[in-house]
Amino acid sequence: MADIAERCGLSKATVSRALTSPEKVSEATLSKIRAAMHETGYEYNSLAASMSKQSLKLIGVMTGSLREPLYLQSIASIQNIAENTGFNVMLSVSDFNPEKEQNILQSFRSYRSAGIIILGTSLNCAEKFILPLKDKLPHLILWENYKSPEIESIGFPPEKMMEMAVSHLAGLGHTKIGLALMQDLQVHRPMDRYSAFIYALGRRGIDFTPEHVQFLSMYRKNPSAITAGKSVMQRFLNMKDRPSAIIFPTGSLAFGGLLQLQSAGMKCPEDMSIISLTDDDMTANVHPSITAFSTPHSEIQKCIRQFFQALNNHSAFTLNSRELPVQLISRESCCRFQ
């Protein structure tokens, strides 16, 4: 570091600040330091340096799965923002297993993490494992909608989302509506969606048929999302009293369901309508294009930036809004029931 400082005509303190908190140094100074590092082959090990100072700028990121596009895009945003604010990222996968969640969170604490970001939890993870650490370990839960004001989480309001999906399909004359859910009812988000689905059906006067809710075990058995979508669609097609419309949790699963429907010689939406609870390039560009809820990644990125800013400023982190905006994009995959 002393060589870099001498070559650039800067103090060691300025070089250290540029390496540990680049947001506090001008772009011109950063460029000069990076050029000197490149010329000398110097590599700064921020993890080792932080550990030696007993002040590790580490963010623990726990995700339930690496197979969900929502999570993957958010992890990429976390990594990018962390790099720009001088933090290191430690990523762990819980498989939505409560025991793993507890062990991972304890590991983050033992590594003196500055904070934790969580994507996807088991049913009682926040209450059991996160709240007890609230005063010692700042947290942010993405894509989940916890009701407790003590839990800093942001996600889609499941009641509003299911109400809009069921209302859209019921308005087209569908009275037999199916729902595909990831995992099982021990995972937070599917549980919320399951309850909201039953409530939305009741508000529309539609009878709830338990068989019309099918669960995906893609995390444990490790098929691709598209394969899992094809599998669950075949289950619906095998039913004697099958639904005329299916709600899928993600675009990839909905695409898999569409492929299976077409391979069975059936048409979408004439024989079955499809809705995805998340939107992506696949749902927008496949034929027929899939009706889906817009996914506000920009709002998630904003929350991530606010979280890192609070950590850097050593200030309390509180979300201003805990609900993501909900908008249903009507496309070709839904039509009036014949």
Cβ–Cβ under 8 Å, residues 118 and 59: no
Give the pLDDT score at 56: 58
Task: Output the average pLDDT for the chain.
Answer: 88
Give the pLDDT score at 17: 82
Q: Higher pLDDT residue, 320 or 288?
A: 288
Q: Tell me: the pLDDT tens digits for 233-247?
A: 999 999 999 999 999
For residue 65, which of 188, 197, 246 has the smallest C-alpha distance? 188
Task: Please tell me the CATH code under which domain 51-156+296-312 is placed.
Answer: 3.40.50.2300
Average of pLDDT values for 146-171?
Answer: 91
Please report which confidence band the pLDDT of residue 319 belongs to, taking 50, 70 and 90 as the band edges: confident
Domains 51-156+296-312 and 158-295 in one fold: yes
Token code pair at residue 321: 């809004």
The position carrying tokens 């919320």 is: 192
Of 145-154, 293-302, 306-315, give the lowest mean pLDDT range.
Answer: 145-154
Q: What are the sequence ranges of the domains in the chain? A: 2-44, 51-156+296-312, 158-295
Give the pLDDT score at 222: 55
Q: Higher pLDDT residue, 206 or 148?
A: 206
d(CA 70, CA 53) in angstroms, rounded, equals 35
Average of pLDDT values for 263-292?
Answer: 95
Please report which confidence band the pLDDT of residue 18 belongs to, taking 50, 70 and 90 as the band edges: confident
Q: Higher pLDDT residue, 164 or 48?
A: 164
Of 82-91, 107-116, 178-187, 189-198, give the lowest mean pLDDT range.
Answer: 178-187
Please report which confidence band the pLDDT of residue 54 belongs to, taking 50, 70 and 90 as the band edges: very low
Please report which confidence band the pLDDT of residue 203 belongs to, taking 50, 70 and 90 as the band edges: very high
Q: Tell me: the pLDDT tens digits for 67-124?
A: 778 899 999 999 999 999 999 999 999 988 888 998 999 889 888 899 999 998 876 7
Class of domain 158-295: alpha beta
Is the pLDDT confidence value at 329 over 90?
Answer: yes
Is the pLDDT confidence value at 325 over 70?
Answer: yes
